[in-house]
Structure 1
Amino acid sequence: MIDTRYAALRDLLDNRWTCRQFLPDPVPHETIEQILSLAQRTPSWCNTQPWQLTITEQPTTDRFRKELLAHIEEAGVATDLPFPAEYTGVYRDRRRECGAQLYESVNVARGDHAGTLRQMVRNFELFDAPHVAILTTSRDLGVYGAVDCGLYLMTVLLAVESLGLAAAPQAALASYSPFLHEYFDIPADRNVVAGISFGYPDREHPVNAFRTTRAPLPDTITWHTT
């Protein structure tokens, strides 16, 4: 029994990936509720459950996509939560490896600034997903409310994978948090953590073919045995 559950979880983790091209088909409302019911089992500090989602269905998704693209052409980046100050050392290396895989999959050569920009903008086109969710946390709960939302996000991603769907967790959408607050009437006492574009994956598109690597355990663990 234990081995079977471990294998099932391992299968979900091994096969989940960030989808960067979706089919236009909408996900049934009942299926979305299945995902959210499972995600609601996520643990949180003192059981505060700080997460809230704002979710679009068509035609709202297309309207939001269009207006977001128009907004980023005129506005600067503004976030509710601080983004990383910089990437150094192994974190820079891992980020570069992922970026190189992405651009290679869509035939964007190193130094092709126009191609790089075009792929970056795909974030704000939601990779053509039929749905997007905006994940927020209570501002009063600070960093640990955001940590709880990270746990919730992972549960969403596993639930999505378990149902044969795909998702793209997107910190990029939080780059324009004031716009999200205004567009979706998100209260000022909530911080935007990330967006989640989701739907049915286009498995034939080359951008969905690559998979990122993971560091070996000795690189991430320090044992104290005596």
Structure 2
Amino acid sequence: MKSLQVSTVVEDPASVDAAIESRFSARAFLPRVVPREQITDILRVASRAASGTNTQPWKVYVLQGESRDSLVQKVCAAHDAVYADPALAAEYREAYDYYPEKWVSPYIDRRRENGWGLYGLLGITKGDKDRMHAQHHRNFKFFDAPVGLMFTLERVMGRGSLVDYGMFLQGIMVAARARGLHTCPQAAWNPFARIILPHIGAGPEELLVCGMALGYADEAERVNSFHTPRVPVEQFTTWLE
């Protein structure tokens, strides 16, 4: 196969486009089992992602069954504890700044549109902190997906490895779509790395990049009708001739 990469013809570009364009953050999954062989195949395909000097910096931990369920219990308990006593949030710090310290337009506008669009669909009104907490809590149940993925990076690596990681994660999500599966990439887990890393057996030299839910989306759940908009190409592209 390696010798054919340069000459391989993608016979159905529409299917490739469909896999990319139908990807969204699913927030409700069926309990249907995802075979280990299928997960392995998805990771194999995604491992073809580009990385600087071929460093391939990703480390993946797949949680199913008891390992998944016990992590859910631990982090859900911690999340509830922080909600009950916000001072405890100081004990849970992200290893890197996923979001900016100060939000500016147009990014804050898109963030707000995303948040209120989702909460509006679910009938959660502004100020309804209990229901907002409950919805956020769903993250820590992997939205009921039977497969949870945790991704780590060795701390010795540079910021560029996070760029590499993004391509790898996109590869997983697109390969999952090609197999009829859906995903939800989750930075929500990051503050709870002190619980997650020992649970998955990651060493002190690793930092948590993010988590991801993987499984078959529940088409009957209203939340999965929420799809975020994208700005037109003309808005983010500058043509130079």
Q: TM-score, normalised by structure 2?
A: 0.88
Map 1:117-136 to 2 at 5 A. Answer: 117-136=133-152
Which whole-Å deviations, capped at 9, do the CAs of 1:22-48 have from their partners, x for residues lacking one?
111221111111111111111100000
Indicate conservation of the 8 Å contact 2:149/2:213, yes or no.
Answer: yes
Amino acid paired to 1:59: E
Distance 1:138 1:144 in 2: 12
- 2:97 corresponds, among 72, 75, 82, to 82
Map 1:33-182 to 2 at 5 A: 33-72=40-79, 73-74=81-82, 75-76=88-89, 77-84=92-99, 85-182=101-198
Q: Distance in 2 between matches of 1:149 and 1:83?
A: 13
Aligned residue for 1:142, secondary structure, equals coil
Aligned-partner Cα distance in 2 for 1:70–1:18: 24
Contact 1:79 1:178 in 2 (8 A): no
1:192 is matched with 208
Hey, what's the Cα distance between the residues in 2 that align with 1:60 and 1:45?
A: 33
| C-alpha separation in 2, matches of 1:45 and 1:3 | 25
The CA deviation string for residues 143-181 of structure 1, in whole angstroms up to 9 with x for no partner, is: 111111111000000011110011110001112112112
Q: Structure 2: 5+ residue runs without aligned partners?
A: 1-7, 83-87
Q: Residue 185 of structure 1: CA displacement?
A: 2.0
Range with greater deviation from structure 2 (150-159 or 68-77): 68-77
Deviations 1:39-79 (A, max 9, x none): 11111000000001011111221121111111232552311
Deviates more, 1:170-179 or 1:103-112: 103-112
Q: Secondary structure at the match of 1:134?
A: strand
Distance 2:177 2:26 in 1: 11
| TM-score, length basis structure 1 | 0.94
Asked if the contact 1:26/1:57 (under 8 Å) is kept, the reply is no
Q: Give the one of 22, 26, 48 matched to 1:19.
A: 26
Q: Could you tell me whether the CA contact under 8 Å between 2:74 and 2:195 is conserved in 1?
A: no
Aligned partners of 1:185 and 1:222: how far apart in 2? 45
| CA RMSD, 1 decimal | 1.6
Q: Which amino acid aligns with 2:145?
A: A
Alpha-carbon shift at residue 141 of structure 1 (Å): 1.4
- Give the letter aligned to residue 98 of structure 2: F
For residues 67-126 of structure 1, what are the alpha-carbon distances to aligned partners after superposition, in whole Å with 9 as ceiling and x for unaligned?
111123255231111232132101011111111221122111223222111111111121
How many angstroms apart in 2 are the aligned matches of 1:185 and 1:78?
Answer: 19
Unaligned runs of 5+ in 1: none
Measure, in 1, the Cα distance between the counterparts of 2:33 and 2:155: 32
- Please report how far the alpha carbon of residue 5 of structure 1 lies from its aligned counterpart in structure 2 after TM superposition: 4.0
Kindly tell me the number of residue pairs found equivalent between the two proteins: 225
Describe the SS at the equivalent of 1:141.
Answer: coil
